[in-house]
Structure 1
Amino acid sequence: MADESIRLDRFLWFARIAKTRSAAQAMAEKGTLRLDGRRIERSAAPVRIGSVIVFPLHGKVRALRVEALPRRRGPPDEAATLYTPLEIHTPKPVDAPEPGA
């Protein structure tokens, strides 16, 4: 079903990105998380298969594409199948010296 979705906080918790559901809610409501390019400030935002979630975690920016919607909070191996990590390219500063120059 294309219209099937899950709450953002539940996805973050089920996918083991957040240790607790309340930590997932705080992460979503902080305003630093983006869902499909939109800034999110509510934990009830719907996540669908194909959604892209971008958020800061442990000093780095992570981006994930949702591959499946979870039915439960399973073991880490099961949780890792729910999303694909995406690579984020950081632009090189304009005034940075060229390598080898």
Structure 2
Amino acid sequence: MDKWLWYARVTKSRSLAQKLISSRHVRVNSDKISSASKTVRIGDVLTITLDRRILVLKVAVLGTRRGPFEEARKLYEDLSPPPPPRQAPPSHPALREAGAGRPTKRDRRKIDAWRGDS
């Protein structure tokens, strides 16, 4: 299992793949696994929970080496759900109502003059 995750470029190293598996973030056909030595078969569906996303991969080829990205993409079929749409930032910054917020120096002088402070 750890070799296949490394071959498919899901993780940067085999030790990271082993940590991911031992922390029970990988499922094979909806069963959680905790052993990095679990064998992977063609047709298995892997559900991998990463930091900010969930990968659902169907094993197409077992692979024999860690090759370039294009070769790694041929090892699986990506069944992952699309990421949630991002919220667009507001088109203009929030406008402050007149009179709201901290008074300016000029406003402070007027307030002091009204109260009779010097």
Same fold by TM (over 0.5)? yes
Matched, 1:33 2:26: yes
What secondary structure sits across from 1:64 in the alignment? strand
Contiguous gaps of at least 5 residues in structure 2: 83-118
Amino acid at match of 2:57: L
Amino acid at match of 1:32: H
Percentage of identical aligned residues: 37
CA distance, structure 1, for counterparts of residue 4 and residue 46 of structure 2: 11
Normalised by the length of structure 2, the TM-score is: 0.66
What secondary structure sits across from 1:84 in the alignment? strand
CA distance, structure 2, for counterparts of residue 88 and residue 77 of structure 1: 21
Give the structure, 1 or 2, with the largest relative contact order (CA under 8 Å, sep 6 or more): 1
Question: 1:1-80 maps to which residues of 2 (within 5 A)?
Answer: 8-80=1-73
State the Cα RMSD in Å.
1.3
CA distance, structure 1, for counterparts of residue 54 and residue 13 of structure 2: 20
How many residue pairs match? The answer is 82
Structure 1 consecutive aligned stretches of length 4 or more whose deviation exceeds 6 Å: none
More helix by share: 2
Deviation at 1:43, TM superposition (A): 0.4
Deviation at 1:59, TM superposition (A): 1.2
